[in-house]
Amino acid sequence: NAGVMQNPRHLVRRRGQEARLRCSPMKGHSHVYWYRQLPEEGLKFMVYLQKENIIDESGMPKERFSAEFPKEGPSILRIQQVVRGDSAAYFCASSPPVRGPYNEQFFGPGTRLTVL
Amino acid sequence: AQSVAQPEDQVNVAEGNPLTVKCTYSVSGNPYLFWYVQYPNRGLQFLLKYITGDNLVKGSYGFEAEFNKSQTSFHLKKPSALVSDSALYFCAVRSESGNTPLVFGKGTRLSVIA
């Protein structure tokens, strides 16, 4: 069973360009979370999605950021018109659909975004 | 609102000595607590969790953590540190069972010196 997959692992963009980050959850997992890690800081929650639904986007910046998790295919985190402050490591995590106390989140290797 | 505090940015320990990485939390309702480890340029790896039951939780790689409700703490411990334990450690909390997001501490960098 492959773990959480993220691609690309490294992404370089110039200011004003768009960044698309992809996340394929573990097999059988239907819950996806996106977190952002700034240098020397912990992970900050951005958005929580289930298939075709955004459950909680309280951590997402109001502008330029969007996320989706379609019925087929990976979850996508999209950042439009990137700025230098968007440079960070973006981690995706997934968990199984069963509600209960054993739902630790499994993390992908992250995408490191650098904005020039 | 939930929060996690890791009061030490850096912990240094000699190989073979016991180690403790501190974590305190604030949450309404029952806490669900987790420890993760991050190696350089890697994602987070799950170490252990406290949901209910025994206050001493055993996890991966010989790590354990002690839940203390009165002190709202969940310190990570290992009896004998290895150089390979050197990494960034994150404590996280969730306030209810289910699939809610995790709230992370800022992390503590552990250096084990040979």
Give the pLDDT confidence of B29-54 residue by residue, as tens digits.
888 899 999 988 778 899 999 988 88
Residue A101 has pLDDT above 70, yes or no: no
How many other C-beta atoms can be found within 10 angstroms of the C-beta atom of residue A8? 13
CA distance A41 to chain B (A): 5
B50 touches A: beta carbon within 8 Å: no
Give the pLDDT confidence of A29-76 residue by residue, as tens digits.
889 999 999 877 789 999 999 988 999 999 999 999 999 999 999 999
Residue B97 has pLDDT above 60, yes or no: no
Q: In the numeric block, which tokens belong to residue A73? A: 């295919």
Question: Per the CB < 8 Å rule, is A108 touching B34?
Answer: no
Q: What local confidence, expressed as pLDDT, does residue B99 receive?
A: 66
User: In A, which residues are within 8 Å of B104 by CB distance?
Assistant: 35, 42-44
Q: What local confidence, expressed as pLDDT, does residue B29 receive?
A: 80
Q: Which residue of B has its CA nearest to A112?
A: B41
Question: Per the CB < 8 Å rule, is A91 touching B43?
Answer: yes
